[in-house]
Amino acid sequence: MSDVTIRVRDNGNLKIEGSVALLDGEGNPIPVAEGQPLFLCRCGMSRQKPFCDSSHREAGFASLVRAEPAAEPAAEA
């Protein structure tokens, strides 16, 4: 299991915890504070992209992501 956790927050951002490298579209590193969680924008309205600045609240961004339940193993005959 990875030591990085990405949480899709209800009606908000992505919260990333753990040691990660954040790269731009050309593969250049974007500096991040070591040991601090990252909050990345999902709504597209942030003025600090890729980071969240809480603009989703003003924009009325709504998204409730839920994982599909795990499938039950097939019963043996």
For the chain, list the domains and their CATH numbers: 1-21+34-59 (3.40.5)
Quote the CA–CA distance of 39 and 50 in Å, as a whole number: 9
| 77 band by pLDDT with thresholds 50, 70 and 90 | low
Task: Note the pTM of the prediction, 2 decimals.
Answer: 0.83
- For residue range 35-67, what is the model confidence (pLDDT) as tens digits? 999 999 999 999 999 999 999 999 999 999 999
